[in-house]
Structure 1
Amino acid sequence: MGQTARVSAIAWTAAGSLVAWLWLLLCQGFFWRTDVRLPPRTEPDTWPSVCVVVPARDEATVLPASLPSLLAQDYPGRAEVFLVDDGSTDGTGALARELARRHGGLPLTVDSPGEPPPGWTGKLWAVRHGIGLARAREPEYLLLTDADIAHAPDSLRALVAAARTGGFDVVSQMARLRVQSRWERLVVPAFVYFFAQLYPFRRIGRRGARTAAAAGGCVLLRADAAERARIPEAVRHAVIDDVALARAVREAGGRLWLGLADRVDSVRPYPRLHDLWRMVARSAYAQLRHSPLLLAGTVAGLALVYLVPPVAFVAGAAAGDTAAAVLGLSAWLVMAGTYLPMLRYYGVAAWFAVLLPFTAFLYLLMTVDSAVQHYRGRGAAWKGRTYARPDAVPDEG
């Protein structure tokens, strides 16, 4: 009798997971689709001026693959690049000047703001300094891009044309991350998949939408919208600064667009699980606003949605509980089906879709570890700089 009740409980739990997946499939902004790319655009008769702001701290290893792509932008209007050296110790600033001398292209200014004051992350302090330098040129648009992002030659042109055509104050592209190592193939597509699940791209671009998000590696921002939203001062405490920036612009009346990139790529490698773990765990608990209640709910939700299906299938098959096995397998198949488009986008083998429960379990552990580190008072360390404040964690790049 106890075994029957236990198996029945598994079947009911699997049914709950299947219902959750059907709701995600149909009612969560079709987050699983990967066809949200730059919207249709027409090129303007007169191209507005643009200043590109690149915060950089100890980026000498990636700059040769990224900075020349910015300097080589095929942009018909006036554009220049401001690289802000955030206290680098590896010669980032000198290397940037050498790359500009070697490759030519857009004008490059390299400057440093010094150490950030209390309450500022190094990245946002560098962004503030770069925007201050740019405003002297009175640009109509600012392109905020990370030092590890490589742009196709027409990237800036396409971003500006899309912003002008659609009337957007923010046009942001989720840069395609590197997926060369085994761990990158397992973890990276899921990172973007989970982000899209939280912030469905289709909803962000709608007028009056509540969902607001951006991808910090590539954010084209109208300069006057930045002033209205007090960027970056208004988000200087934000852990997830790109999402906070989008919310601030939305609250100031701006329009947003976010989608996947075709020719904007991150060149930063994450070859080991440790590297990916550190990237996620550094800000995972901050995403939950350092709330134990939200942490418990997130762990329970991840377990129900991602872990229950394979467990129910295996347990049901072993115990002869057909209902549990069928319901668990059905939920697992729906889950894998929603993941396939992201795997295709990244060029990763389709069979990785069946491993999504395992990947989700890794993310669950990363989130719990993020909370553990927070309560141990270790703060967040990044590139030799430690942030004691839980709301002052630096973003990658």
Structure 2
Amino acid sequence: MSVMGWIALFSCAAWVWLLLGQGLFWRTDQRLPPGSAEPERWPSVAVVVPARDEAGVLPVSLPSLLGQDYPGRAEVVLVDDGSTDGTGDVARALARAADRARRPGGGGLPLTVVSPGPPEPGWTGKLWAVRHGVGAVRAREGGAPEFLLLTDADIAHAPDSLRRLVAAAEAHRLDLVSQMARLRVSGCWERLVVPAFVYFFCQLYPFRRINRGVGRTAAAAGGCVLLRAEAAGRAGVPEAIRDAVIDDVALARAVRRAGGRIWLGLAEHVDSVRPYPRLADLWGMVARSAYAQLRHSAALLALTVAGLALVYLAPPVCLAAGLAGAGGASSAGGGGAAAVAAWAGGAAWVLMAGTYAPMLRYYRQPLWQAALLPLTAGLYLLMTVDSAVRHHRGRGAAWKGRTYPAPAPRAAADR
């Protein structure tokens, strides 16, 4: 058996295991439970939107929050986190326009814009903004809200989004309900990279495993998180995760550790409106947090690079090399080892494409793009390496003018 043949067999075996043993991560049927019974009393909700230099996307996203059809008491708090592009003024103007357009007696949520000032040492900007927004609504005279909807400034919601989230949380007694917003896929680079981004996230954090509550797997999608306020208090968030770069996963883990029930699924009517027209834009999005996902460990980086190469890059290489070797050896009457490399590499590539097809269908992309997953995985491998390089050059986890170092170790009681 040749080395190429063994690599192909290992890759094929890895894909068989991923297909059957990784929580059926490739399925896209984890959606917000439909038809959840509406509660007899609708709990109060505060929608907290951290925003830093988001004037460009707010005209698309913020009206969708202000126009929510929610039967209970609810409000929107936009936290202007040191913006220099007039984010707060744009938000106020949109709120005034929504008030003028609203029919007498119609629905809609009021807006408050607050500014927290620069983050204190040890806080990421987003979590500092969330802390300030949550503190503002907890100090209301009418009492603290029962739920918090944490949503990013680039996320647009269908008019019944909040209603459906709360109904699901109440009907199924969930402490955290999160939806992975459907990201934009307009340009060629978005079509190539974005579905794979969600696919890889599902592979790392299988939604079915999270939602069954077995094991230690926990994650959320930061663009849309409905959090029971009482569960947030038990988990000590956001203070307990104040330095987390991947804050959504850290939030879900904190809630799970505190005994909370969490649910994560793909969204139907919650969409990101942020454009990523160039490869550089997508590259920055991934490289910003990839090394943080690996806990800033050089050993984990090396294992990740080797794993990506074996699982995603090896199948097409082994298929091509096997076919070439089989053709060259046929005249000599050999070629058995080359044939093994070819069929095992081809089988692994077919399994890979088959697991990717449901995500492409969810993003309404042609299924032939599944064959390009090795190319996309190669890009992600380079993005991950670049994330580590940026970190060691002091430019890791950079976002809108801020750079965050690796979190300092904390005592277990503080975590």
TM-score by structure 2 length? 0.91
Q: 1:379 & 1:193 partners in 2: Cα distance?
A: 24
1:263 aligned to 2:269? yes
Deviation (angstroms), 1:380: 3.5
Q: 1:323 & 1:284 partners in 2: Cα distance?
A: 35
Q: 1:295 & 1:115 partners in 2: Cα distance?
A: 32
**8 Å CA contact retained: 2:80, 2:114:** yes
Q: 1:48 & 1:248 partners in 2: Cα distance?
A: 23
Q: 1:278 & 1:207 partners in 2: Cα distance?
A: 33
Residue in structure 2 matched with residue 95 of structure 1 by the alignment: 90
**8 Å CA contact retained: 2:387, 2:396:** no
1:18 aligned to 2:15? no
Residue in structure 2 matched with residue 362 of structure 1 by the alignment: 379
Residue 61 (structure 1) aligned to one of 29, 35, 56: 56
Percent identical among aligned pairs is 75
1:84 alignment partner, SS class: strand
Deviation (angstroms), 1:208: 4.0
Q: 2:394 & 2:61 partners in 1: Cα distance?
A: 35
Residue in structure 1 matched with residue 411 of structure 2 by the alignment: none
2:248 alignment partner, SS class: helix
Deviations 1:214-270 (A, max 9, x none): 000000000000011011001111110000000000000000000000000000000
Q: 1:89 & 1:377 partners in 2: Cα distance?
A: 24
1:292 aligned to 2:302? no
Q: Structure 2: which 5+ runs fail to align?
A: 100-107, 327-337, 409-415
Bigger CA drift: 130-139 or 185-194?
A: 130-139
Residue in structure 2 matched with residue 395 of structure 1 by the alignment: none
**8 Å CA contact retained: 1:286, 1:391:** no
1:391 aligned to 2:386? no
Q: 2:194 & 2:407 partners in 1: Cα distance?
A: 25
Q: 1:379 & 1:71 partners in 2: Cα distance?
A: 35
2:180 alignment partner, SS class: strand
Deviation (angstroms), 1:383: 1.4
**Which stretches of structure 1, 4 residues or longer, exceed 4 Å deviation after superposition?**
none
Larger Rg: 2
Q: 2:407 & 2:169 partners in 1: Cα distance?
A: 31
**Count of residues paired in the alignment:** 385
Residue in structure 2 matched with residue 348 of structure 1 by the alignment: 365
1:139 aligned to 2:156? no
Residue in structure 2 matched with residue 323 of structure 1 by the alignment: 340
Q: 1:97 & 1:49 partners in 2: Cα distance?
A: 23
**8 Å CA contact retained: 2:245, 2:397:** no
Residue in structure 1 matched with residue 355 of structure 2 by the alignment: 338
Bigger CA drift: 133-142 or 95-104?
A: 133-142
Residue in structure 2 matched with residue 33 of structure 1 by the alignment: 27
1:176 aligned to 2:170? no
Deviation (angstroms), 1:374: 1.2
1:157 alignment partner, SS class: helix
Q: 2:72 & 2:358 partners in 1: Cα distance?
A: 36
One-letter code aligned to 1:73: Q
One-letter code aligned to 1:43: E
Q: 1:135 & 1:31 partners in 2: Cα distance?
A: 38
Q: Structure 1: which 5+ runs fail to align?
A: 393-397
Residue 81 (structure 1) aligned to one of 76, 82, 86: 76
Q: What is the CA RMSD across the aligned residues, in angstroms? A: 1.0
